[in-house]
Amino acid sequence: PTGPMERTFHLTQAALREHLPEATAAQIYNLELGATGPYGVTYSRNGRHCLLFSRRAGSDGKAGHLAHFDAHRRALSGGGGFVGE
């Protein structure tokens, strides 16, 4: 919901990239997560580290995929794996 002092825009990363400085646009990345989602994400306060997580269907939230991602290096740290199996 928007009011008279705010607006909401829906942009794709591709559309946004066209309007960003080159150095900023180079920081856009795409995570292909496959069919194990839906995924949730939580970031550290400084934005460098994020934890990606999913819940496996039928597991009552006790099993799923867990991965640590270094957003500055754009790389998984130590890989990821399934938990609660």
pLDDT at site 5: 82
pLDDT at site 46: 92
- pLDDT reading at 70 higher than 70: yes
pLDDT at site 21: 93
pTM of the model: 0.53
Distance between CA atoms of 32 and 69, rounded to whole angstroms?
A: 13
Residue 51 burial (CB < 10 Å; 0-12/13-18/19+)?
middle
pLDDT at site 51: 87
Q: What is the pLDDT of residues 1-53, one digit of tens each?
A: 567 888 888 888 888 889 999 998 887 777 776 666 678 888 899 988 888 88
Q: What is the Cα gyration radius of the chain?
A: 16
